[in-house]
């Protein structure tokens, strides 16, 4: 299995995307450490993984809390090291309001959340990976042509994604000499994560699917499979880059 013997921390592991990646990592042989703020959602992901014979541990960790992140990383590292670190923390964006009508606080909220959580979790993992002379840090970001979203009000969300991409480039440059790879995943949106009955759900799904070249957007299973590839030795030549899994919605 591609990730056999690896320890993988997934911040936001109780969410839909975090859960999908956790299942994929566990299926590939990794021991997954699910971290998040809500015990119940973490346990709902960990339970089926264990039932299927996988290895999963949970911990209540606020990825915006520096001490909590560092202490958790230290605890995981004591169990054989940290080989993969992934943050899929929700960026808490405020959408639906034109930028010119937004408060500064609302615009900056997703930016501050994204930068803080990604920085703290990546730093905590990297400090241990440097000692190991290797590891993989994954995060979600995105750059590209966003002109197709001109009719949608998405506040600081895109600024948050661009900030993560900048962080990915800098981390990869600094950590590469230590054998650490840094890769971001760019999905363009996963329709399965939209709540059933959500107002405007069909319109949002259309917004995600219509720009693709394949007529379909990425699924949760797709995201999990790509994350396994990126974290495994099959992706050992990838660092300082993003993997485009938008089904052609964003053409590089």
Specify the range with the lowest mean pLDDT, choosing from 53-67, 69-83, 191-205: 191-205
**CATH code of the domain containing 93:** 3.40.50.720
Three-state DSSP at 215 gives coil
**Residue in 95, 140, 122 with CA at minimum distance from that of residue 181:** 122
Residue 91, pLDDT > 70, answer: no
Residues in the chain: 252
The confidence score (pLDDT) of residue 252 equals 80
| 129 domain residue, yes or no | yes
The confidence score (pLDDT) of residue 153 equals 67
| 2 domain residue, yes or no | no
When pLDDT is averaged across residues 116-122 and rounded to a whole number, the result is: 97
Range of the domain at 170: 7-244
| 252 domain residue, yes or no | no
Residue 148, pLDDT > 60, answer: no
| 23 domain residue, yes or no | yes
Measured CA to CA in angstroms, residue 230 lies from 92, 150, 207 at distances of: 26, 32, 27
The confidence score (pLDDT) of residue 30 equals 98
| 67 domain residue, yes or no | yes
Computed over its alpha carbons, how large is the radius of gyration of the chain?
17
Q: Which pTM does this prediction carry?
A: 0.92
Work out the mean pLDDT of the chain and round it to a whole number: 91
Please count the structural domains in the chain. Answer: 1
| 71 domain residue, yes or no | yes
Describe the chain by its helix, strand, coil percentages, rounded to 5: 50, 15, 35
User: Tens of pLDDT along 32-63?
Assistant: 999 999 999 999 999 999 999 999 999 999 99
* Phi, psi of 29, rounded to the nearest 5 degrees: 105, 0
Specify the range with the lowest mean pLDDT, choosing from 145-149, 210-214, 215-219: 145-149
User: Tens of pLDDT along 15-33?
Assistant: 999 999 999 999 999 999 9
| 91 domain residue, yes or no | yes
What residues contact 79, with CB distance under 8 A and at least 6 apart?
A: 7, 31
| 195 domain residue, yes or no | yes
When pLDDT is averaged across residues 114-122 and rounded to a whole number, the result is: 96
The confidence score (pLDDT) of residue 89 equals 82
Q: Where are the beta strands (DSSP E) in the chain?
A: 7-11, 31-36, 55-60, 84-87, 135-140, 180-186, 241-244
């Amino acid at each position: 299995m591609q990730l056999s013997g690896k320890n993988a921390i997934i911040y936001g592991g109780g969410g839909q995307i975090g859960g999908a990646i956790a299942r994929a990592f566990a299926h590939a042989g990794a021991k997954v450490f699910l971290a998040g703020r809500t015990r119940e959602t973490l346990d709902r992901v960990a339970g089926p993984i264990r039932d299927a014979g996988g290895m999963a541990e949970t911990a209540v960790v606020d990825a915006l809390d520096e001490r909590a992140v560092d202490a958790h990383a230290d605890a995981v590292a004591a169990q054989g090291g940290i080989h993969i670190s992934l943050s899929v923390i929700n960026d808490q964006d405020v959408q639906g309001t034109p930028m010119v009508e937004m408060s500064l606080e609302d615009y900056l909220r997703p930016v501050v959340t994204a930068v803080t959580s990604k920085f703290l979790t990546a730093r905590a993992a990297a400090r241990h990976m440097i000692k190991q002379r290797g590891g993989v840090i994954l995060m979600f970001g995105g750059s590209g042509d966003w002109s197709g979203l001109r009719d949608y009000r998405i506040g600081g969300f895109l600024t948050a994604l661009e900030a993560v991409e900048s962080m990915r480039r800098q981390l990869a440059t600094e950590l590469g000499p230590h054998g650490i790879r840094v890769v971001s995943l760019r999905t363009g949106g996963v329709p399965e994560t939209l709540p059933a009955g959500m107002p405007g759900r069909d319109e949002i799904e259309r917004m995600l699917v219509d720009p693709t070249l394949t007529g379909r957007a990425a699924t949760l299973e797709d995201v999990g499979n790509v994350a396994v590839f990126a974290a495994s030795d099959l992706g050992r030549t990838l660092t300082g880059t993003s993997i485009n899994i938008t089904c052609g919605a964003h053409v590089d």
